[in-house]
Amino acid sequence: MKSLVILSGAGMSAESGIKTFRDTGGLWEEYPVEQVATPEGYAKDPALVTRFYNERREQLNTVKPNRGHEILGELEKEFKVTVITQNVDNLHERGGSTHVIHLHGELTKVTSSRDPYNPAYIKELRPDEYDVKIGDLAADGTQLRPFIVWFGEPVPKIEEAIKAVEKADIFVIIGTSMNVYPAAGLLNYVPRNAQIYLIDPHPVAINTTRHINVIAKGASEGMAELAKLIQP
């Protein structure tokens, strides 16, 4: 069974109605990144940051996986599929994908403010627990913080992602600007004999000498076309 590795970004979830951060009208225009996506912002105003991620979780209850997510789940019947995502939502899992590496953390999880990457303190929230409050504590007695990899923090899952990419027979980039590192650097680990596809309705500037098959469509239409092209 061939190995199919997907690198997905905000464009993958945009069709489902998840607001992107960088696009016009995106979340960074409403909330400066320094306020809600850095350890310093959290230290300065934990209530604001907690509320911001509560709102993101609340939105999860109103959206569904799009056809692109579902096709990826269905491809597990024919390929060994690994999804490496920069997204913090759970739409890949809800779409049927069973092996998802979240580079930037997971919105539905919370953790310790003091020791955020200690597995003993990471907790999956039920939908009725999505509204985290100041005073809700992790097992070590510190305030629960979002299990999100903020700017300036290490990306603990990058080594696992590199290992998956190194085994790819087919590597697909979908809905990401390839501007955010270390995720953008994963292309450097794709084997020389692997096929590379890019699914995006907009031009994406990628600094590589590798041949890339471009599918200039959104997530759902693009995944449908990809599924036909790579049929075993």
Q: Which residues are part of the catalytic machinery?
A: 104
Cβ atoms < 10 Å from Cβ of 216 = 14
SS3 83: strand
Cα–Cα dist 15/61, whole Å: 15
Cβ atoms < 10 Å from Cβ of 27 = 19
Name, in order, each residue with C-beta under 8 angstroms of 221's C-beta and a sequence gap of 6 or more.
none
Cβ atoms < 10 Å from Cβ of 188 = 10
Instruction: Name residue 195's beta-bridge partners.
Output: 170
Among 142, 201, 191, 145, residue whose Cα is nearest residue 166: 191
**Sheet containing strand 3-8, strands side by side:** 100-102, 80-85, 3-8, 170-174, 195-199, 213-215
